[in-house]
Amino acid sequence: MFIKEGIIASPGIVIAKSLVYEKIQLEVNKNKINDTEAEIVKFQNAVKHSHQQLEAIRIKAISELGEEEGAIFEAHAMVLDDPEFVEGVEAEINNNHLAADYAVKIVTDRFFDIFDQMDDPYFSARAADIKDVGSRVLQNILGIVQADLSQLEEDVIIIADDLTPSDTAQMDKKRVMGFATNIGSRTSHTAIMARSLEIPAVLGLGDITKTVKNGDLMVVNGLTGKVCVNPSDEQLQSYEKEKQKYQDYLKELEALKDLEAITLDGRKVELVGNIGEPNDVAGILKNGGVGVGLYRTEFLYMNSDVMPSEEKQFAAYRSVLEAFPNGPVIIRTLDIGGDKKLPYLPMDDELNPFLGLRAIRLCFKEVGLFKIQLRAILRASVYGQAHIMFPMISSITEVRQAKAILLDCMKELDQEQLPYDKTVKVGVMIEIPSAAIAADIIAKEVDFFSIGTNDLCQYTLAVDRMNQEVSYLYDPFNPAILRLIKQVTATSEKKDNFFTGMCGEMAGDPLAAILLLGLGLYEFSMSALSIPQIKKIIRSVTYEDAKKIADAALNMETGEEIMDFVQKSMKKLNLDI
């Protein structure tokens, strides 16, 4: 028996036999060839074969997992058709007389390196796609067939170095009960896949493929990040108990799905979800969210090779609005810049991109682009309760400038006799300290605030949100952050028909829920999976108690002290998280 600890990627506890999925290493040597034509044919046949395989996997993925997973394989097929890839390989064969397998390897590696070096998660995911496609073509050139996971005899936990989209799409989902891998992070494909299949996963275990044998009994505990191999009877019993407890807890959460987010003494709040694309709406509905608190529209732009047209945007916004006939949908205007770039919009390198031409600042520079988006949102606004939200606002002047452009768009639509909701709500993200401090001034121009703690922490504490070296300073519980939040909610309480929400990660943190409630937050927007747990907490306290807890926290000196205090307060209220 032994226990190892890794990264929690998907919650839950599973006990099952292990299946070690080791891929055959693809041996490729730098062989020179004379018959370049024959080598090109070999490559082209492998590409054709790969296309056929990808189409079959795409169909299976759509029927078992949905459109979004199917789209991964469309993207793979696009790599196969990419002239830079195809011509790159053919040039290596023709010009350098390289064998097809070696040519594929070096061109794939070259592409992989370019994308892998980008910080943005979207482009890192593209790097993984390229690697996956490259090894598929290589296998087809070399005539190698990998182990088949599509038909399994019994329930298993998959043990692997890492899992690619092709691996997971082909898997026999009825039999795969969990994942444990050597590498991977919370945002890697394996993690995302495990969460969408709702199976426990622990990743980043280092050498789990070396230490576990096929058929070993294993426990993967996606709540603690521990895996236990060949547990003793006593351990097994205790894991079984823990598993049961977790299942009971899930049932309890499930039962809350259609209930309101209301405190014991009757204060109602709104629990809504953050989305990156229309498909994410399903998760919010499934978890009992009543609307969208943050639609990060930049993904619509980033997932496209050309600027998305007004029609394309209109269709996307409309579909989200129609999913929530009775709930708000907050559409954030383009937040590009910082670490996010668009391939079709040239931008100069900046010394401090997070302090540079980002979000609303870029939209003011590219007014044409901004207006296309505003027109699309306005036109979609007749299909639900659209709210327009401007990101990276630092002063009232910017709000006025943005609203003036919005008004221009409204006039254009009037002239064109295109309908839109004339009472559409307009709000801003409070994510720059100056906006939080001057919230009372900014409130005059808008209908709502949404606090973006991800950036508010970054800018208030002067901590790069992506720099591991200083991540210890990145603390939403820091008293300075709590005071800013209080200042914003206190301001908003003074204005009628106005609300303050939060769409930063803090809104979905179970430890922060009571504090935020007590600080007067009305709307909590988070990743869909967090909604049930936050609802349970809200429904288990009184607003009066939450206010007392928040007031006491506001007088404390450090983030640790505050967190410790909240934890103890929650224990007293019998809130086990």
Contact of residue 453 among ligand PEP, Mg ion, none (CB under 5-8 Å per partner type): ligand PEP
x-marked contacts with ligand PEP along 395-434 as a string, rule CB under 6 A: ------------------------------------x---
Q: Shortest approach of ligand PEP to residue 527 CB, angstroms? A: 11
Residue appearing with tokens 């390289």:
98
Interface with ligand PEP in residues 449-468 (CB under 6 A): 452-455
337: phi then psi, degrees, rounded to nearest 5 = 105, -175
Interface with Mg ion in residues 381-440 (CB under 5 A): 431
293 binds Mg ion (CB under 5 A): no
Tokens of 385: 């309760």
The terminus-to-terminus CA distance of the chain in angstroms comes to: 29
3 state DSSP class of 560? helix
Contact of residue 181 among ligand PEP, Mg ion, none (CB under 5-8 Å per partner type): none
503 binds ligand PEP (CB under 6 A): yes
452 binds Mg ion (CB under 5 A): yes
- Which residues pair with residue 428 across a beta bridge? 390, 449
Distance from C-alpha of 133 to C-alpha of 115, rounded to nearest angstrom:
14
x-marked contacts with ligand PEP along 427-446 as a string, rule CB under 6 A: ----x---------------
Q: DSSP string of 469-523?
A: GGGGG--TTSHHHHHHHHHHHHHHHTSTT-EEEE-SGGGG-TTTHHHHHHTT--E
Q: Shortest approach of ligand PEP to residue 392 CB, angstroms? A: 8
- Determine whether 409 is an active site residue: no
Residue among 88 and 121 whose Cβ is closer to ligand PEP = 121
Distance from C-alpha of 119 to C-alpha of 96, rounded to nearest angstrom:
33
How would you classify the pairing of strands 7-10 and 328-332?
Answer: unpaired
Interface with ligand PEP in residues 327-346 (CB under 6 A): 335
Q: Shortest approach of Mg ion to residue 334 CB, angstroms? A: 12
Contact of residue 363 among Mg ion, ligand PEP, none (CB under 5-8 Å per partner type): none
Helix 67-81 to helix 83-96 angle, to the nearest 10 degrees? 30
Distance from C-alpha of 357 to C-alpha of 365, rounded to nearest angstrom:
9
Residue among 239 and 448 whose Cβ is closer to Mg ion = 448
Residue among 133 and 481 whose Cβ is closer to Mg ion = 481
Contact of residue 504 among Mg ion, ligand PEP, none (CB under 5-8 Å per partner type): ligand PEP
Q: DSSP string of 266-277?
A: --B-EEEEEESS
Q: Are 294 and 450 in contact, with CB atoms under 8 Å apart?
A: yes
Q: How many residues bind ligand PEP (CB under 6 A)?
A: 10
455 binds Mg ion (CB under 5 A): yes
The beta-strand segments (E) located in 76-225 are: 156-160, 176-181, 201-203, 217-221
509 binds ligand PEP (CB under 6 A): no
Catalytic residue (one of 76, 189, 387, 457)? 189
181 binds ligand PEP (CB under 6 A): no
Q: Shortest approach of Mg ion to residue 332 CB, angstroms? A: 9
Catalytic residue (one of 228, 363, 457, 503)? 503
Residue among 431 and 447 whose Cβ is closer to ligand PEP = 431
Tell me which of 11, 165, 231, 504 binds ligand PEP, using CB under 6 A.
504
Radius of gyration for the chain, computed over Cα atoms and rounded to the nearest angstrom: 26
Q: Which of 346-365 are b and which e, b meaning 16 or more Cβ less than 10 Å from the residue's Cβ?
A: ebeeeeebbeebbbbbbbee
Q: For 461, which DSSP code?
A: T
- Determine whether 49 is an active site residue: no
Q: Show which residues are catalytic.
A: 189, 503
Q: Site residues (CB under 6 A) for ligand PEP?
A: 294, 296, 335, 431, 452-455, 503-504
Q: Site residues (CB under 5 A) for Mg ion?
A: 431, 452, 455
